[in-house]
Structure 1
Amino acid sequence: MAKSEPHQIDIHVGNRLRSRRLVLGLSQEKLGDRLGITFQQIQKYEKGTNRVSASKLQVAALVLNVPIGYFFEDHEPTAPDGLAQEVDEMGAFLVSRDGVMLNRAFTSIKSKQVRQSIITLTKALANADDPVSRAADAEHIAPSISG
């Protein structure tokens, strides 16, 4: 009998565990030590291949200084495939090294105006790579230029 794929909620909980661990700058080994388990077990939790027990999840919430509900936030098991894929891709980026570094740097910016300018710039750069968005932007800009 073949082993089944990890359940969607186990993957989600694992991603949330990994995300919080990275935000706090903890290695898998350090988190494992604090939870009384091996780093290999942390790896399995983070991949969703092993399910985190309720008692271990409670301890993880205390160690990571989050409410237990944190591990289930933003989980939408009935999301349409396209949306689920987009959420998965965003989640994967957010827990990547680049994503964590970008979020740390961005949230350290005190000025709301500067943060908004960065968002505007990022959207403009993203649209510059997307011909459909460029065409739509051109339609909105052209009337205002001629009018």
Structure 2
Amino acid sequence: MKHPVDVHVGKRIRHRRWMVGMTQQQLAEKVGIKFQQIQKYETGMNRVSASRLWDIADALDVSVSFFFEGLDGKAAEAASQGMPDDILSDKEALELVRSYYAIPENQRRRLFELARVLSDVA
């Protein structure tokens, strides 16, 4: 049975890997393991050891604490904001975020304000 913490850490690995545009194979090569192991980590099927998590954090250029962010009260906070419990598993949402940050900052601010106005109207 998967432990919720392992599932959360795996989702954060997948999220960060996806945000930096890295494949499972590329991450596996940087860490020195097979891509199948990355798949197992990302699904929470296998638990990530502390030393391996350290290597993954280094390869993805984040601190180890990144993988634990949002663990406490995540579901309650998401529900109060009208979002699904697992926004990180929604490929469309992640693609939207990636595209958003690819837009030049001044245009991104205007798009953000437009989205805010539209969400207030809905």
Counterpart position of 1:88: 85
| 1:85–1:57 Cα change, 3 Å | same
- 2:111 pairs with one of 91, 110, 114: 114
Matched-pair identity in %? 35
Q: CA deviation at 1:99?
A: 1.9
Between structure 1 and structure 2, the one with the greater Rg is: 1
Counterpart position of 1:66: 62
Any conservation in 1 of the 2:88–2:94 contact (CA below 8 Å)?
no
Counterpart position of 2:37: 41
TM-score (structure 2 length as normaliser): 0.82
CA distance in 2, matches of 1:67, 1:92: 21
Any conservation in 2 of the 1:29–1:39 contact (CA below 8 Å)?
yes
Counterpart position of 1:9: 5
Q: Counterpart amino acid of 1:64?
A: L
Structure 1: tracts of 5 or more residues without a match: 128-147
Q: CA deviation at 1:118?
A: 2.0
Counterpart position of 2:23: 27
Aligned to 1:69, the other structure's residue is in SS state helix
TM-score (structure 1 length as normaliser): 0.69
Structure 2: tracts of 5 or more residues without a match: none
Q: Which has the higher contact order (CA 8 A, sep 6+)?
A: 2
Q: Aligned residue pairs: how many?
A: 115
Any conservation in 1 of the 2:25–2:34 contact (CA below 8 Å)?
yes
CA distance in 1, matches of 2:28, 2:117: 40
Q: Which moved more, 1:84-93 or 1:16-25?
A: 84-93
Q: Counterpart amino acid of 2:8?
A: H
